[in-house]
Amino acid sequence: MKFKSYYWFLLLVGLVMGIILAVQFRLTREITKDIPSQETAIALSEKLELAREDREKLQSQVDELRVRLDQAVAGPELAMLNEEVDRARGQAGMTEISGPGVEVTLNDSLNVLEPGQDPDLFVLHDEDVLAVLNELKAAGANAIAINGQRIISTTEVRCIGPTILMNKNQRLSPPFVILARGNPETLANSLKMRNGVVYNLQQFYGIQVDVKKVDEVTIPAYSGALTFEYAKPKELTQERD
């Protein structure tokens, strides 16, 4: 009887110890599984705090820039900048302009060719148009257009067969109607002077040239694209105190 009681006692103790070991093993495994989750939560919390700090800094910059923008809009500097931009656009040919000037019409010669004469001498070429343009500019023309195409600082005039090419992709054919804004008397006289551009075109080649002084010409704005192969905007450097 004593041996059986001792046996049951050992069995009970073994059972209790097994249960305790099983529970401890399970708790240890659960704790081990929770450690990465805790580390991830800590890392995310740190990133969130950094993001909050960055957001506060950016918001502070936005507030400062908004104050500076409000000051600029409210101050006289904006009006001066707008005037300067408008003046620059006008000088660059980006705006329509009207005023007194001249209207010059160029067309090929109507002369009947003599045997052996070169017909190429009696039609308009790019060099003829350029000569008229240069004469008008030298006489003080501050805005010029040919057949509705504005002449700007980058405008080229090149001969392509019976037409001329200007502003990269505009093909123009005679008659060429040139509008120039400036002093009508000065512009007209510069073209009509003896041995001048118009005189030579008419006398030697029979080119048709008609020069009219007008009270008001309207020069359209440049409508093409502005592309620069070599020129680049000047980099603005912030002045330091």
Least trusted range by pLDDT, from 45-49, 137-141, 201-205: 45-49
Asked if residue 215 is part of any domain, the answer here is yes
Q: Quote the pLDDT of residue 143.
A: 96
Q: Which residue has the higher pLDDT, 224 or 106?
A: 106
| pLDDT (tens digit per residue) in 81-114 | 778 888 888 888 999 999 999 999 999 998 887 8
What pLDDT does 241 receive? 43
Mean pLDDT of the chain: 83
The answer as to whether 47 is a domain residue is: no
Residue 117 domain-assigned (yes or no):
yes
The distance of Cα 90 from the centroid of its chain, to the nearest Å, equals: 17
In this predicted structure, the answer to whether residue 22 has a pLDDT above a threshold of 80 is no
CA distance 103 to 210: 8
Q: How far apart are alpha carbons 22 and 86 in whole angstroms?
A: 87
CATH code of residue 160: 3.30.70.1880
Residue 10 lies in a domain: no
Domain containing residue 177? 97-219
The answer to whether residue 153 is domain-embedded is yes
Residue 29 lies in a domain: no
Residues 6+ apart with CB under 8 A from 63: none
Structural domains in the chain (count): 1
What tens digit of pLDDT does each residue of 23-64 get?
666 666 665 555 555 666 677 788 888 888 888 888 888 888
Q: Is residue 82 part of a domain?
A: no
